[in-house]
Structure 1
Amino acid sequence: MRYHFIAIGGSAMHNLALALHQKGDTVSGSDDVIFEPSRSRLANAGLLPEHEGWFPENITTDINAVILGMHAQIDNPELKKAQELEIPIYSYPEFLYQQSKNKTRVVIGGSHGKTTITSMILHVMEYYNRDVDYMVGAQLEGFDTMVKITDDNDFMILEGDEYLSSPIDRRPKFHLYKPNIALLSGIAWDHINVFPTFDDYTKQFEIFVDTIVNGGIIVYNEEDPEVKRIVEDSENTIKRNAYTTPSYRVEHGTTLLETVEGDVPIEIFGAHNMNNLAGAKWICQHMGVDEADFYDAIASFKGASKRLEQIAKNKNSIIFKDFAHAPSKVKATTIAVKQQYHNRKLIACLELHTYSSLNKDFIEEYEGALAAADLAVVFYSPKAVAIKRLDNLSETEIKDAFKREDLRVFTQPETFHSFLKEQDFINTSLLLMSSGNYGGIDQMQFEKLIA
């Protein structure tokens, strides 16, 4: 088959392109800008477009399908040409569904925990050499790409994002997968630019549960009241398996999971990760891995990239980075680090980077999100605010939203970095939470803080 990607440089898109290339399909693509690591990975596979930009002549009748990324605009000249030639056009999730129609689709949904739970499941499958197709939202240790598609595997594990599918398909991605087995981890209002109210947002999860095939299975976190309501109120004819956070304790900086098989030391930590683990266990059991075998495998799981990822450590200090940006995840991650290293000072830094986090109508959702930190810091770039065409936030508005008068607020990368360099990191944990990069600060600069 021959496929052309419009906006091939995206994180998900370039991984799908690589997966199809590895499968033996012919792949081409275009984009107006391609950043690292997409650029190098595409170049190494011989898939990097020769020129940046959109070229209608790229679209020819011998293309079997066009895969359209969210970065492309609705008036994209290559898209228009494909429409004129009546070439099949798929959004990213729509194409994944087409590739998995004859497989058992396992879809992991929720406002938070999706990537971690999907990664846990894949880790267990890899541990037992069980080959599955997958799509996950982060690079995983031991996996070449974030997407794998074959003709032969029985299962396809999909991270179910609730954001929009493509410029011409405004449905949330996870509405398109029609799972046989699904998981719902939690619901916390996000994507205010698309779902302006909490009710708008929760409605998407109601639809998701109703897309599960008849006789399918939903595994759900019954500790989340919205999840519990949505799953238990659904009239879909599906089986329901509830899970809760398992018992665990922390001893000398190690988390011990309490099981019927005895205490299991694990690499990850925090109540939210223990909750994620419980959901992953249910899914793995539905995929044929029993409970004892799950514990054997999960003990060596170190986490997904940028999900409470340790980036530096010495004898009395540690630095983590985390993708957390939604209020509930920021709060859970901050509490997790403080509980794991309760005898250490916690410096928790959050970059407001997403449309929702920089929006005056949403920022009050962050009340108490950094309460567990001994020193709380917020960074945001006025340039990011301007790009998103939002009203600028004042330091007072941010402090009022977080309900911390001692909150430190920075808008310049240099000033923020200088502030951190002034801190005493003896007996300290530093937590860096962001879906961005703090205005362009290289990770090595953070690692040097405790070198």
Structure 2
Amino acid sequence: MKIHFIAIGGSAMHNLAIALHQKGYQITGSDDTIHDPSKSRLAKYNLLPEEFGWFPEKIDSDLDAIILGMHAKKDNPELLKAQELGLKIYSYPEFLYEQSKDKTRVVIGGSHGKTTITSMILHVLNYHDKKVDYMVGAQLEGFETMVHLTEENEFIVLEGDEYLSSPIDMRPKFHLYKPNIALLSGIAWDHINVFPTFENYVEQFSIFTDSLVNGGIMVYNEEDTIVKDVVESSTNHIKKYEYNTPKHSIENGITFLETEEGDLPLEIFGNHNLQNLAGAKWICQHMGIDEDDFYEAIVTFKGASKRLEKIAENDATVIFKDFAHSPSKVSATTTAVKNQYNNRTVLACLELHTYSSLNADFLAEYKGALDNADKAVVFYSPHAVKIKQLLAITEQQIANAFQRDDLIIYTNSQEFKDFLFEQDLKNKAVLLMSSGNYGGLDFEEVKNLV
């Protein structure tokens, strides 16, 4: 097949392009800008466009399909040409479904935890040499790409994102997969630019639950009351398996999981991660991995990239980087670090970076999110607010939202960096939470603070 990618440089898009190239497809693509690691990885497979921009002349009737990324706009000249020629245009999730129609589809959904749970499942399967197709939203240790597609594998494991499919397909991605086996980890309002009310957001997860095939399996976190209500109120003819936080203990900064075979030391920690582990165990069991084999593998799981990722440590200091940006994630991550290192001072730094987090109407959702940190810092860029064409927000609005009198607020990236590098980090646990990089913070430099 000859397939052209419009907006090939995206994290998911370039991985799919590489996966299809490895499967033997003829792949071309365009984008107006491509950054690393996408740029160098596409170049490695000779898939990097010769020049950046949109070129309608690349689109002709010889193409079997177009895959359209979210970065493109509705008036993209290549898209318009493809529509004019009547070519088949897929969104990213649509094409993944086409590739997996004859497989057992395992879809991991939820506002938080889905990348980690998908990563845990793949880690366990890889440990036991069980071959599956997959799509996950982070680079995993032992995996060359974030997408892998074959003709022969029985299962495909998909991270189920609730964000929109493409500029011309406004359905959430996870509505398109029609799972045989699914999981819901938690529901906390996000993507308010697309789902303006909480009720509208929750409805997407009800639609997802009802999209399971007849007789399918839904694994769900019963400790999340909204998830519990969504799944248990569904009249879809599916089997339902609940999970919750497993019994555990913490000794000298290490979490031990209680099992019938004894206490197992884990590389991960925090109630959310332990819930994620319990959900991953159910899924793996439904895929043919028994409990003992799951435990043998999971003790070697170190976490997904940027998900409570330990980037530096010595006897007196530990520094974590985390993707957390929504209020529930910020609260859970901060609480997890404080519980794990309760004899240390926790310095929690949060960058407000996403559309939702920089929206003045949404800020109130952050009330109490940083309460479990001993010292709390919020950074945001007024320039980023302007780029996203949002109403300007003030430092006072930030302070009012978090309702913490000693909150430190920075709007200048250099001033934030100076603050961080001037700290005495002895006997501290530092947590850097953002889906961005604090206006250009070099995390390699941060590692040298330890």
2:448 counterpart residue number: 448
Is residue 180 of structure 1 aligned with residue 180 of structure 2?
yes
Task: Provide the rounded CA distance (Å) in 2 between the counterparts of 1:186 and 1:41.
Answer: 33
CA drift at 1:58? 0.6
Q: Describe the SS at the equivalent of 1:255.
A: strand
Task: Provide the rounded CA distance (Å) in 1 between the counterparts of 2:249 and 2:390.
Answer: 44
C-alpha distance after superposition, 1:280-302 (max 9, x if no partner): 00000000001111111100000
CA drift at 1:11? 0.4
| Structure 2 residue identity aligned to 1:378 | V
RMSD between aligned residues: 0.6
1:200 counterpart residue number: 200
2:148 counterpart residue number: 148
| Structure 1 residue identity aligned to 2:184 | L
2:368 counterpart residue number: 368
Task: Note the 1:46-445 alignment, pairs <5 A.
Answer: 46-445=46-445
Count of paired positions: 450
| Structure 1 residue identity aligned to 2:89 | I
Task: Provide the rounded CA distance (Å) in 2 between the counterparts of 1:375 and 1:449.
Answer: 18
Q: Describe the SS at the equivalent of 1:432.
A: strand
| TM-score normalised per structure 2 | 0.99
| Structure 2 residue identity aligned to 1:17 | A
Task: Note the 1:18-37 alignment, pairs <5 A.
Answer: 18-37=18-37
| Structure 1 residue identity aligned to 2:108 | I
CA drift at 1:260? 1.4
Give structure 1 stretches of 5+ with no counterpart.
none
Q: Describe the SS at the equivalent of 2:320.
A: strand
Task: Provide the rounded CA distance (Å) in 2 between the counterparts of 1:333 and 1:266.
Answer: 17
CA drift at 1:162? 0.2
Task: Provide the rounded CA distance (Å) in 1 between the counterparts of 2:306 and 2:324.
Answer: 9
CA drift at 1:448? 2.2
Q: Describe the SS at the equivalent of 2:41.
A: helix
| Structure 1 residue identity aligned to 2:243 | Y
2:6 counterpart residue number: 6
| TM-score normalised per structure 1 | 0.99
Q: Describe the SS at the equivalent of 2:21.
A: helix
Task: Provide the rounded CA distance (Å) in 2 between the counterparts of 1:327 and 1:143.
Answer: 31
Structure 1 runs of 4+ aligned residues shifted over 2 Å read none
Task: Provide the rounded CA distance (Å) in 1 between the counterparts of 2:415 and 2:447.
Answer: 17
Q: Describe the SS at the equivalent of 2:449.
A: helix
Task: Provide the rounded CA distance (Å) in 2 between the counterparts of 1:202 and 1:116.
Answer: 21
| Structure 2 residue identity aligned to 1:95 | F
Task: Provide the rounded CA distance (Å) in 1 between the counterparts of 2:372 and 2:20.
Answer: 45
User: % of aligned pairs identical?
Assistant: 69
CA drift at 1:397? 1.1
Task: Provide the rounded CA distance (Å) in 2 between the counterparts of 1:28 and 1:100.
Answer: 22
CA drift at 1:449? 2.1
CA drift at 1:445? 2.4
1:16 counterpart residue number: 16
Task: Provide the rounded CA distance (Å) in 1 between the counterparts of 2:331 and 2:391.
Answer: 25
Task: Provide the rounded CA distance (Å) in 1 between the counterparts of 2:395 and 2:406.
Answer: 11
Q: Describe the SS at the equivalent of 1:174.
A: helix
Q: Describe the SS at the equivalent of 1:297.
A: helix
Task: Provide the rounded CA distance (Å) in 1 between the counterparts of 2:256 and 2:314.
Answer: 23
Task: Provide the rounded CA distance (Å) in 2 between the counterparts of 1:444 and 1:141.
Answer: 19
Give structure 2 stretches of 5+ with no counterpart.
none
Q: Describe the SS at the equivalent of 1:449.
A: coil
Task: Provide the rounded CA distance (Å) in 1 between the counterparts of 2:95 and 2:169.
Answer: 12
Q: Describe the SS at the equivalent of 2:346.
A: strand
CA drift at 1:380? 0.5
Task: Provide the rounded CA distance (Å) in 2 between the counterparts of 1:85 and 1:421.
Answer: 56
1:39 counterpart residue number: 39
Task: Provide the rounded CA distance (Å) in 2 between the counterparts of 1:445 and 1:351.
Answer: 18
